[in-house]
Structure 1
Amino acid sequence: MYFPFLAEAPEFNTQALDGLRQPLESGEITLHRSAGAATYPARFQLVLAANPCPCGLSSGKAIDCRCTAMQRRRYFDRLSGPFLDRIDLQIEVPRVNATHLGSGRGEETTATVARRVAEARRAQRARLQPLGITRNADLPGTILRGVLALPTRTTATADRQLERGLLSVRGLHRVLKLAWTISDLAGQERPQPADIDVALQLRHHAQGAIT
């Protein structure tokens, strides 16, 4: 598994970014040439980062930012809707200040997080191995709506967003997969309504950084 990182994502050519849509969806890339076509494996986890505006100063109080609303809109319009629809986590990263650096809030150690992730991966494998799958990320919509279908009371918030056009079918499936991972990290048997809500927030919360 590769983890390409694209810094300053809106500075990339829109066509180049949209060219990643199919590999992100299928895990394969097909090259067409005059002599024929060839398909290669291309499974990767894409990580993007973007400034909050062209000058990068509009976070926080944004007192130093001189970008107009139109400039900000053009900046983020380079990331097309269909492309962003394939980005599961979209997280805003606030500006760090001296208070944050000196807070000593007792964050978890890397070892603690690694143990929880390993346990979540084991739970995924145990649940999905009979289906011929090892990771939540590889779950197709047919299984999410079939064998692993969640009660409507659990998915109600996401279902409403789908009905209102705020979420595509692809987006709904990605929210469900993320909710299963959130549930696994919490050591639960299956996602709860709160896990669906968190997955939706992580999908729609971006302005300053996209992952």
Structure 2
Amino acid sequence: MLRQPLESGVIELARARVSARFPARFLLVLAANPCPCARANGAAAKACDCPSLVRRRYLSRLSGPLLDRVDLQVELAAPSRAELRADAKYANTSAVAAQRVKAAREATARRLAGTPWRTNAEIPGSALRRVWALPAKVTRSADLAFESGQLTARGLDRVLRVAWTLADLADLPAPGPTQIGMALDLRLPGRWQ
């Protein structure tokens, strides 16, 4: 039921004599454990006794077509106490993060001025490839992931949108290979394993 609103940003209801359209742009955040017992990640993986068939069945409850519409897919391992302590000195405050987001949105607004879109997420794939086409040397890693079947066409478009957002956050005029690589890492969990 979520696939169409995620894709179009609209909910359409059709009944016998009436049809209605409702705006439905929303941010969907999903979280899932790696297995039913939730112990199969990081250092605690040794405590998990779920058979692999049970794990596969558990994770297959999230359909491929739904996951294809999720921009960021990140696997998180349970952090150690030392990692939690070390991370504190690198964390940004909410005010710093808000300022970066504001600056990125302003960059996006300048680039999209005169178009019907306000955010990178709204840009259709065809416009990404025609109006804001990136050189092949920049998109090489994403193109290889698409050609190898790791990405669908929809997934490739989502990687490009995330790469543009990363470029806006870094105050760059366009994404480079680094932003494409980061977007791929956020899209294809475990690709370096």
Normalising by structure 2, we get a TM-score of: 0.92
Matches of 2:23 and 2:116, distance apart in 1 = 18
The residue number in structure 1 matching 2:53 is 70
Counterpart position of 1:156: 140
Unaligned runs of 5+ in 1: 1-18, 207-211
Aligned twin of 2:80: 97
Please name the residue that 1:7 is paired with: none
Shift in Å at residue 122 of structure 1?
0.2
- State the partner residue of 1:47: 29
* Aligned-partner Cα distance in 2 for 1:138–1:178: 11
After superposition, the CA RMSD in angstroms is: 1.4
Q: Which residue in 1 is equivalent to 2:40?
A: 58
SS at match of 2:114: helix
Runs of 4+, deviation exceeding 3 Å: none
CA distance in 2, matches of 1:33, 1:201: 43
Identity, in percent, stands at 49
Cα distance in structure 2, aligned partners of 1:105 and 1:59 = 25
State the Cα distance separating 1:152 from its structure 2 match: 0.9
Q: Distance in 1 between matches of 2:147 and 2:90?
A: 41
Q: C-alpha displacement at 1:167, in angstroms?
A: 1.1
Partner SS, residue 196 of structure 1: helix
Are 1:129 and 2:113 counterparts?
yes
Structure 2 portions without partners, runs of 5+: none
Match of 1:183 in 2: 167
* Partner residue of 2:3 out of 21, 33, 43: 21
Q: When the two structures are aligned, how many residues end up with a matched partner?
A: 188
Deviation at 1:39, TM superposition (A): 2.0
> What whole-Å deviation, never above 9, does each CA across 1:124-178 have from its counterpart, x for those lacking one?
0011012232111110112101111111111111112222222111111111000
Q: Which moved more, 1:141-150 or 1:117-126?
A: 141-150
Aligned residue for 1:171? 155
- Name the stretch that deviates more: 99-108 or 178-187: 99-108
Give 1:35 deviation, angstroms: 3.4
Name the CA distance, whole Å, in 1 between partners of 2:84 and 2:134. Answer: 41
User: SS of the residue aligned with 1:48?
Assistant: coil
**What amino acid does structure 1 have at the position aligned with 2:59?**
F
1:146 aligned to 2:115?
A: no
Q: Which amino acid aligns with 1:117?
A: V
Superposed, which structure 2 residues align to 1:108-127 within 5 Å?
A: 108-127=92-111
